[in-house]
Amino acid sequence: LARREAGSVRWEVLEDTRFFTTPAAFAGWAEGRKQLRMEYFYREQRRDTDLLMEGSEPAGGKFNHDHDNREPIPDGFHAPPPPVHAHHEDATTREVLALVAARFGEQASDKERHFGSLENFNWAVTRAQARCDLTHFLDHCLADFGRYQDAIEDSDPFLFHSRLSAALNIGLLSPQEVCSAVDAAWRRGEVPINSAEGFIRQILGWREYVR
């Protein structure tokens, strides 16, 4: 927290609550290290948060289960479709979509026009919708997320991925609640350790490290 006085204007800089760690904490971890490897940073975060830990040891006997997360999509598979959010009922969302279409869609100049389409816009724009997406992921996708984490299939844009990045980045969900929910699902025996660990590593490991 920083506070400054500039004439009659008082301002404060607050820590970003959308992350587990802070830039200062990362700098402290990095000081004196010859290699800033994400894996070692991630292991420290696991110990600090107690996520997927059994006492002082990582669940399943190791911190990283990526070796089990490299299976190809089988023939004839069907990934669960994501929830459909009724954005047409939200005046604010309709207004923003119209603004984006006017400024960056087919009506815009060649210089301003962007690729893509708004016709199937289905991202969470409210806390309730983000919670709905999280619940859907936990119930229908997380169990298979791990083994198919690196797979690509041109007939399905999402496969078993969570679609939660945008909700995390704009603050509709916190990384703590998302990772805690995944940890709880594993502890209840609903998902295998490689799926829970592979997902938590993306948020607690890579997301924090890249920031």
Return the pLDDT at 11. Answer: 87
Return the pLDDT at 7. Answer: 66
Choose among 174, 146, 145, 175: nearest CA to 161.
145
CB 63 within 8 A of CB 46: yes
Return the pLDDT at 138. Answer: 98
CA 103 to each of CA 153, 166, 196: distance values in angstroms, whole numbers, following the listed order: 32, 21, 41
10 forms bridges with which residues in the sheet? 5
Distance of CA 62 to the CA centre of its chain: 22
CATH for 36-85+123-210 is: 1.25.40.80
Return the pLDDT at 32. Answer: 97
Choose among 183, 204, 197: nearest CA to 146.
197
Return the pLDDT at 185. Answer: 98
Return the pLDDT at 45. Answer: 98
Return the pLDDT at 79. Answer: 92
Could you list the pLDDT tens digit for every one of the 211 residues in the chain?
A: 556 655 678 888 899 999 999 999 999 999 999 999 999 999 999 999 999 999 999 999 999 999 999 999 998 888 999 999 987 778 999 999 999 999 998 888 888 889 888 988 999 999 999 999 999 999 999 999 999 999 999 889 999 999 999 999 999 999 999 999 999 999 999 999 999 999 999 999 999 999 9
Return the pLDDT at 146. Answer: 97
Sign for the CA dihedral angle at 98, 103, 106, 108 comes to positive
Cα–Cα dist 67/70, whole Å: 7
The pTM of this model reads 0.90
Return the pLDDT at 140. Answer: 98
- Structural domain spans, the chain: 36-85+123-210, 86-121
